[in-house]
Amino acid sequence: MEFAAIMDALERIYGSKHVKEVSHLELSSHCQKLNERSQDYATEIERLAKLAYIGVPDDVLERLKIGAFVKGLRDAELKNAVWTSPKTTFTDTLACYACQKPGHFEREC
């Protein structure tokens, strides 16, 4: 067996585990960047959660995404609003509190 074939086989076997572990670490420490839109931050949280929690039931994944999102929010007022009005899905969590439509927050409405 050639070196490249061995490396391909190892990547197929262990590659996804490595990605999962790295994504989990990134997700657990990810915070919203200065001047990063909340929607862009949410998109990154969703991407990392899908990589970190492959095979996790959808309802559990939703709670994990919400928790990671709120934990890393920079805006204390928004963080408080999300914690005090818990939603069951990540999409509902991201909905505007003024108009209830997803994709933006109240101050952007």
pLDDT by residue (tens digit) across 54-67? Answer: 889 999 999 999 99
- Measured distance CA(27)–CA(30) in Å, rounded: 5
- Measured distance CA(36)–CA(41) in Å, rounded: 7
Average pLDDT over all residues of the chain: 83
In 3D space, the residue among 34, 68, 74, 73 whose CA is nearest the CA of residue 52 turns out to be 68
In this predicted structure, the answer to whether residue 70 has a pLDDT above a threshold of 80 is yes
- Radius of gyration of the CA atoms of the chain, in A: 17
Query: pLDDT band at residue 69, thresholds of 50, 70 and 90?
Result: very high
pLDDT tens for residues 12-54?
A: 676 666 778 888 899 999 999 999 988 899 999 999 999 899 8
Both tokens assigned to 43: 């998109």
Query: pLDDT band at residue 105, thresholds of 50, 70 and 90?
Result: low
Both tokens assigned to 87: 């939603």
